[in-house]
Chains A and B, each alone.
Chain A
Amino acid sequence: MIQTEVDNLKVNDFIVNPATSQLQKRENFYKLIILVLQIISVSTIIILVAVISIMVWFGSPMFAYPDRLLQMVTENKWFPEDHFEDGEYGALAAIAGTFMVGIPALILSIIWGVGLAIFLSEYTRESIARKIQPAVEFVASVPSVIFGMIAFTYFFSWFSEFFTQEWIRGIMLFFGYKVEVIPKGTYLAAAVALAFMTTPIIASISLDAMRSTPLMLRNSAKAFGATKWEIFKTVVYPHSKKTIFASILLGFGRAIGETMVVLMVLGNAPVLKLDLLVNGMTMTSVISGYWGEASEGSSLQAALFVLGLLLLSITAIVVYLASLITSENKAVFRFVDVLLKPFNYIGDGLGSMAQRFMQELELTEMQIAKMSKRRKLANIIIGVLLGTILLSFILAVYVSIGRFLISGMDYFFAPGETSSMYRINVTLRGDPKNTFVRLGLIGLFTAITGTISIVTMSAAISFPVATITGIYLSEFAPEGRLTIWIRQSIININAIPSIVVGLFVYALFSVGLNMGAGILPGSIALSIMMIPIITTNTIEALNNIPSHHMSSAIALGATRWEAFWKHKFPYALPNIFTGYLLGSARVSGETAPLLFTAATFTPPATPIPTNLTHQAIRVLPYEIYYRLLYTTTRVNGEKVGSDWAVAASVVLMLFVLTLTVAGYFVRTIIRRRYAYNGEI
């Protein structure tokens, strides 16, 4: 404790008088730091430019054959040969199929996503909504292979049960559609699985926008006696519509770029037919499906790169449209407004149309009473409708996932000849007595260690880059062209389909820099997926911390960096850290970018790869995919592949779940240590 010889203490006993050289040093350090931040942030621009130019470069052999390019988008003949002169490269079925999956998925996820966002922001108390929200957001971190597995395992039987019922047949026939034999794997099944994945994106972005409606606006609408639905319609919707529509476009971009679900579910059949209950293919499934046949430098490979480029351009257009919608440009704003006008009247049909009509008449008190009754009724009906939408989503997703996991658990724990311990042991270590080393019966242990090593490595690459970019953008970037470019790059990298990332890393690192397939190119691919996630999260975490602490520190003579480092960064750390773990959870289930760059089925000699390059590794999601589609081994007449895939899915789910839960857990722990209890 401090000595109390205080009586003679005077204010000016200690003069704080920093030496000029000291100040100069601190200032130079600040300048240096900013320079470093800037240089590292610029790497995001480099990534984007590199992706685009490599795709163009590797697709360029095909540009010499304009007729082939034309054929690609106009014909449905896909018979690639060694040379462009011989083969056929019509990928119309795949291009059409991309939208045949994307659009139904989009419609479904609009209904689910926007519906449950409205319900959670308007019809539920915020404390309750905040409890339901994680359940919705968790769906976003469920790996796409798992949804592929679910769709593959259940949707076929569910759909054929559903569509073969007489009354459904009758209704369908009434609309001129004759239900025939439903194949295993349809556009509809893929679309539903994709909608599971895009709904959380749309829901959480829309919900944030709706919540940010100024309380004053809400309250004044309330003061006029508006019902919940009317508050939404008159105040919340106009305020948040741009973001809602941007989020829908982002969800659409994600849906058409998704690979694993369509690869596992659609059956990769070149069917060109406007029908959702048939087999089909998409651009992503063609790229990944035909990749095995494409030798290096072949015309097929160039064609696949061109297809990837086409996919990239489609998603880029979608992102551009989204940015147009949210832009401040007045002409665009007006255009969007006109475009969205029909949506403003969606709710009007239910009762409030009558209200408009009655406003024109002279109203007696009776009529007013009647009218308000009708408005209240409309409010309740819409509330129930939205609640049903929320419930249907939660039920559909969690019943599917739950059933799937339970069946996976059965694999381990159901009574049988062998004990559970034995089965778990075999799943992890493999069956020492069994000679089917190639297929199925290799233990998952090396796949788990492979996943852990590749995620760790991509974390090591992407966390510094992404965190620094986030810090730079949110605190230090001057308003200017460079900053805008960096921002746009991050948005665009986020929208690059995962399969295109795989193609890019294959072309530049595996072939160009001769790394082959291995953990380094694989984790570079995952890093590209992770950088935008972590950057966005870092920016958000920093924006949540009030800036007045920094101002106070600056007023005490700190440089901007010192103020940030001491009095903003530590307070944002819990949320930044959570972002790390959630980002890792997200990419640990990524499969598509690893198909060409890292993954193999052959068991490695050591659990952790010894070489960074030229040593392909096993990873869990690839294991699931491979086992499901390529395993034909039968043990005692049973096809073991899909069972083993289910077992691997359970392990992957546990992995992802652990990371996610750890994310929230770590956040609470760090929050306690660096307690920031101030008003946010």
Chain B
Amino acid sequence: MSKQKTEIKEFNTPEEFYRKYLKIREEHRSKGFENQFPNFSDKETEVEFRNFHIAYEEKPWTLYNIDLKIPKNKIVAIIGPSGCGKSTLLRSINRMNEEMAKIRTQGEILIEGENIYSPKVNKMRLRTQVGMVFQKPQPFPRSIYENIAFGPKLHGIKKKEQLDRIVESSLQSVGLFEEIEGRLDDHAYGLSGGQQQRLCIARTIAVRPQIILADEPASALDPKSTYQIEDLLLKLKEDFTVVIVTHNMQQAARISDYSIFMYNGVVVEYDKTENIFEKPVYELTENYISGRFG
């Protein structure tokens, strides 16, 4: 299949870029390309972005007009060069952006049909539904048990047996329970980097979210631990929807079902992962994937 060569040149703000992108998209469509974002029925959809914009303080929009649906029980990878807004997009799903700076938004993000940016929504409840795993393994400087029990305790689970079972099942589902052989009261810093990251995933699972957001969860780990984490994410897909930001193209190709390619605050391409990696529609996507910039 011959590819349409189109240059996307210099631009300043995501807004300006989006205008150019629209033109190019129309051109593509007129030439008969299938460049619609994947569509899912309401039942299949976990998160829906509706013309979502976000900006920090008084600066111009950081993300411009995000309009897509994330399917249930799939792994969706967000890829793109540094500073394109991947992490901002990820964090806007559990509203962590506003914990770091003042933000303003436009448009909606729907989870179970409810706009999470509406004033009625409780941020704390939202975060029990949408868990997050950070880039570096960052367990609390406490025992393994306390690390996992922190979330459930916070949300009112006080009975020891219940907590025990939550801790246990969470550790089991990340495959750490056997490895630590019941040394639950050991300090979390005694674990290896990969184990620490899995502990962090277990900690997130312990509050029973529907969605797990992972911000480059394996970028600070060695290859073996990375492989374990990837394996784990693939397993978790059965129970959770996973959205992952990654810089690692192979990782995205290996584990994700769908991929979102972002550039300059705009979602350029969103499709099944194999399509993105094998026959990207835009030259920009192809350049990025083949490593010509990043």
Residues B155-183 near A (CB distance < 8 A): 155-157, 162, 164-170, 172-173, 177, 182
A376 interface residue per 8 A CB criterion: no
Interface residues in A7-46 by Cβ distance below 8 A to B read 9-20, 22-24, 26-27
For A556, what are the chain B residues with a Cβ–Cβ distance below 8 Å?
Answer: 127-128, 131, 150-151, 154, 203-204, 207
Determine how close the nearest CB of chain A comes to the CB of B162; give it in whole angstroms: 6
For this complex, 19 residue pairs linking A to B, each with C-beta atoms less than 8 Å apart, are A6-B168, A11-B173, A11-B239, A16-B155, A16-B207, A16-B208, A18-B124, A23-B125, A549-B140, A549-B141, A553-B154, A554-B99, A555-B94, A555-B134, A556-B203, A556-B207, A559-B124, A560-B99, A675-B141
Given known contacts A551-B96, A552-B138, A675-B141, A558 and B169 CB-to-CB distance under 8 angstroms: no
Residues of A within 8 A of B169 (CB): 6, 9-11, 13-14
- CB distance A16 to B124 under 8 Å? no
Q: Which residues of A contact B151 (CB under 8 A)?
A: 16, 556-557
Interface residues of B (CB under 8 A from A): 94, 96, 99-100, 122, 124-125, 127-128, 131-132, 134, 136, 138, 140-141, 150-152, 154-157, 162, 164-170, 172-173, 177, 182, 184, 187, 189, 200, 203-208, 239
In the complex with contacts A6-B168, A558-B124, A18-B162 CB distance below 8 A = no
Q: Which residue of the partner chain B has the closest CB to A567?
A: B140
A18 touches B127 (CB 8 A): no
CB distance from B21 to the nearest CB of A (A): 31
A676 pairs with B156, CB closer than 8 A? no
Which 6 A-B residue pairings sit nearest by Cβ, starting from the closest?
A: A555-B132, A557-B127, A556-B151, A18-B155, A9-B169, A557-B128
> What bracket does the count of chain A residues touching chain B fall in?
35 or more
B164 touches A552 (CB 8 A): no
In contact, A557 and B200 (Cβ under 8 angstroms): no
- Interchain CA distance A678-B140 in the complex, whole Å: 9
- B100 to chain A: which residues have CB within 8 Å? 551
Known contacts A548-B138, A552-B203, A555-B204; 10 further A-B pairs (Cβ under 8 A): A2-B184, A10-B169, A14-B157, A14-B169, A17-B155, A18-B124, A549-B141, A554-B96, A555-B131, A558-B154
Q: Please determine whether B124 and A14 come into contact, CB atoms closer than 8 angstroms.
A: no
Chain A residues whose C-beta falls within 8 Å of the C-beta of B200 in the assembled complex: 552
Interface core residue of B99, B136, B177 (most chain A CB under 10 Å): B99
Instruction: Determine the distance from Cα of A552 to Cα of B189 in the docked complex, in whole angstroms.
Output: 16
A434, CB-defined interface residue at 8 Å: no
A552 touches B140 (CB 8 A): yes
With contacts A1-B182, A549-B138 taken as known, whether A14 is within 8 angstroms of B128 at the C-beta atoms is no
Which residues from 640 to 680 on chain A have a C-beta closer than 8 Å to any C-beta of chain B?
675-678
Determine the distance from Cα of A305 to Cα of B127 in the docked complex, in whole angstroms: 58
- Closest partner residue, chain A, to B213 (CB atom): A555
Interface centre among A6, A14, A571, A678 (most CB of B within 10 A): A14
Question: In the assembled complex, which residues on chain B have CB atoms less than 8 Å from the CB atom of A554?
Answer: 96, 99, 127
A88 interfacial by beta-carbon distance below 8 Å: no
CA–CA, A27 and B127, complex, Å = 14
Which residues on the A side are within 8 Å of B164 (C-beta)? 2
What residue of chain B has the Cβ atom nearest to residue A26's Cβ? Answer: B124
Q: Cβ of B208 and Cβ of A6 under 8 Å apart?
A: no
CB distance from A372 to the nearest CB of B (A): 41
Known: A2-B168, A6-B169, A558-B154. A571 touches B141 (CB 8 A): yes
In the complex the two chains form, what is the Cα distance from A368 to B90 in whole Å? 57
A9 B99 Cβ-Cβ under 8 A: no
A interface, over-half SS? helix
Q: Which residues of A contact B204 (CB under 8 A)?
A: 555-556
Q: Knowing A549-B140, A552-B140, A553-B150 are in contact, say whether A12-B127 is a contact too (CB < 8 A).
A: no
Task: Note all chain B residues with C-beta closer than 8 A to A18.
Answer: 124-125, 128, 155-156
B205 contact from A11, A23, A676, Cβ within 8 A = A11
Residues of A within 8 A of B187 (CB): 675, 677
With A23-B124, A567-B140: A12-B208 Cβ-Cβ less than 8 Å: yes
Please give me the residue from chain A that is nearest to B133 by CB atom.
Answer: A555
Complex interface: chain A residues within 8 A of B167 (CB): 2
CA distance A571 to B127 in the complex (A): 24
Closest to A14 in B: B166
Taken together as a complex, chains A and B put the C-alpha atoms of A17 and B129 apart, in Å, by 9
Q: In the assembled complex, which residues on chain B have CB atoms less than 8 Å from the CB atom of A540? A: none
> Which residues of A are in contact with B by a Cβ distance under 8 Å?
1-2, 6, 9-20, 22-24, 26-27, 548-549, 551-560, 562, 566-567, 571, 675-678
Q: Are A557 and B132 in contact (CB under 8 A)?
A: no
Report the nearest B residue to A559, measured CB to CB: B124
Give the one of B96, B131, B156 with max A CB within 10 A: B156
Expressed in whole angstroms, the Cα–Cα distance for A551 and B203 within the complex equals 13
CB < 8 Å: which of B122, B131, B150, B165 contacts A14?
A: B165
The residue in chain B whose Cβ has the minimal distance to the Cβ of A678 is B141
* Chain B residues, CB < 8 A from A571: 141
Complex interface: chain A residues within 8 A of B239 (CB): 11-12
CB distance A9 to B156 under 8 Å?
A: no
Provide the bound-state CA to CA distance between A517 and B192, in Å.
Answer: 62
A73 to chain B, nearest CB (A): 48
Interface centre among A13, A22, A556 (most CB of B within 10 A): A556
Residues of B within 8 A of A13 (CB): 165, 169
| Contact with A557, one of B168, B189, B207 (Cβ below 8 angstroms) | B207
Within the complex, what minimum Cβ distance (angstroms) separates B97 from chain A? Answer: 11
Residues from chain A with Cβ under 8 Å of B131 in the complex? 555-556
User: Quick check: B162 and A557 within 8 Å, CB to CB?
Assistant: no
* Contact indicator B154/A555 (Cβ below 8 Å): no
Q: Which of B100, B141, B173 lies at the interface centre, i.e. has the most chain A CB atoms within 10 A of its CB? A: B141
Report the minimal beta-carbon distance from A393 to chain B, rounded to whole angstroms. 39
Which residues from A are CB-within-8-Å of B165? Answer: 2, 9, 13-14
Cβ of B168 and Cβ of A555 under 8 Å apart?
A: no
Q: Closest approach, in angstroms, between the C-beta of A476 and any C-beta of chain B?
A: 12
Point out which of B125, B173, B187 has the most chain A C-beta atoms below 10 A from its C-beta.
Answer: B125
For the complex, give the distance between the alpha carbons of A15 and B167 in Å.
Answer: 13
Indicate if the CB atoms of A16 and B157 lie closer than 8 Å. Answer: yes
Give every chain B residue within 8 A of A675 (Cβ-Cβ): 141, 187
Shortest CB-to-CB span from A678 to chain B, Å, is: 5
**Interface hub of A23, A27, A562 (most chain B Cβ within 10 A):** A23
Q: Which residue of A lies closest to B206 (CB)?
A: A16
Residues of B within 8 A of A14 (CB): 152, 157, 162, 165-166, 169, 208
Closest Cβ of chain A to B91, distance in Å, is: 9
CB distance from B83 to the nearest CB of A (A): 20
* Contact (Cβ within 8 A) A16 B173: no
Instruction: Report yes or no: A677 in contact with B141, Cβ–Cβ below 8 A.
Output: yes
Contacts of A16 in B (CB 8 A): 128, 151-152, 155, 157, 166, 206-208
Residues of chain A contacted by B96 (CB below 8 angstroms): 551, 554-555
B190 CB to nearest A CB, Å? 10
| Residues of A with C-beta under 8 A to B124 | 18, 23, 26-27, 557-559
Task: Tell me whether A15 and B154 are in contact (CB under 8 A).
Answer: no
Write out the residue numbers on chain A whose beta carbons fall within 8 Å of the beta carbon of B157: 14, 16
Taking the nearest CB of chain B, how far is it from the CB of A220, in angstroms? Answer: 23
Complex Cα gap A19–B187 (Å)? 32
- How distant is A30 from chain B, measured CB to nearest CB, in Å? 9
Name A546's closest neighbour in chain B (CB-CB).
B138
- Inside 8 A of A12's CB, which chain B residues have their CB? 208, 239
Report B-chain residues with C-beta under 8 Å of the C-beta of A560.
99
Q: Across the interface, which residues of A come within 8 angstroms of B128, CB to CB?
A: 16-18, 556-557
Q: Which residue in chain B gives the minimum CB-CB distance to A549?
A: B140
B160 to chain A, nearest CB (A): 10
Q: Nearest CB to that of B200 among chain A residues?
A: A552
Q: How far is the CA of A559 from the CA of B99 in the complex (A)?
A: 10
> How many Å from the CB of B137 to the closest CB on chain A?
10
Residues of A within 8 A of B168 (CB): 2, 6, 9
Known A-B contacts A12-B208, A558-B124; the reply to A548 vs B136 at CB < 8 A is yes
For A677, the closest partner residue in chain B by CB is B189
**Which A residues are in CB contact (< 8 Å) with B152?**
14, 16
If A27-B124, A557-B154 touch, whether A6 touches B172 (CB-CB below 8 Å) is yes
CB <8 Å contact, A551 and B134: yes
